[in-house]
Amino acid sequence: MTATTFRIGGDLSVRRLGFGAMQLPTEPGPAREASLGVARRAVELGVTLIDTAHLYGGGANEELLAEALYPYADGLLVTTKVGVARSAESGEWGLDGRPEVLRDQVENALRRLRVERLELLQLHRIDPEVPLADQLGALRELQTAGKVGRLGLSEITVAELEEARAIIDVASVQNRYSLLDREHEPVLVACEAAGTAFLPWRPVAGAASGASAAAAGITAVADELGATPAQVSLAWLLDRSPVILPIPGTARVDHLEENVAAADLRLTPAHRDHLDGLGLPDRPAERA
């Protein structure tokens, strides 16, 4: 029986199928009202892990979640990410792991989310222009100060994970990963060996495109199970490793409900073998 919960950092229990808030519109108007409804419906459906980031609207996504969900339900984890900033000169977004920037983004996240402590904070990307010890050292100081509970990383290699572990306790890793995109399989294996939470972003990428033999293979399994390709992809992830915590995102309630229902979908050994053997096409690099 596939476990439905996982303890991040060994003590923070969440349901394994979470929600990624990146796609929620935040501008005033009907789209924002719909976003508030999606976030609230996610919690109603039992989601206890919601992922956001400073990058998503420069904090606007964090403010949206607080408006929708504060005061937070018991056991609800809203995790955010820092380390990407907009240039004051060009207005362009880019990696920025300077300690002062990380500290400022954490302070703003605390204010926007209306909390005194971020139970899980992830470094959005490692900035190659700043020593990793300086980046993680700044976050560790915030952790020591009680403003952060657990620390994670995003889009890293196995070597970077090992380097980071010499500086901090890594509670989570958020890398791009799905049934049709297993480039970061070595990172998943390393996380599984250490009991580290692995949060795949874009977890259903390509599943419903029908543009490849692999996508057609997913659709065939979905038809047999009376499910959708997205549900099959999420069920495969939940079955793939007990440390995987998918965070599919959507701005639509019907898609949200479809995704959450995937937690109850059971793959047969034959289906699992079929899905395991599907082709692994190259995926373009994106930012979560």
Task: Select which of 56, 70, 72, 177 is catalytic.
Answer: 56
Tell me how far CA of residue 285 lies from CA of 178, 190, 246, in angstroms. Answer: 13, 21, 18
Query: Does residue 56 have an active-site annotation?
Result: yes
Report the amino acid identity of residue 157: T
Query: Closest Cα to residue 47, out of 11, 22, 76, 6?
Result: 76
Peptide bond preceding 71 in cis form (omega within 30 of 0) = yes
Burial of 211 (0-12, 13-18, 19+ CB in 10 A): exposed
Q: What would you report as the CA-atom Rg of the chain, rounded to the nearest whole angstrom?
A: 18
Cα separations in angstroms, 71 against 50, 178, 253: 15, 33, 21
User: What is the residue whose two structure tokens read 């009907």?
Assistant: 30
Q: Is 222 in a helix, a strand, or coil?
A: helix
Where in the sequence numbering do the catalytic residues fall? 56
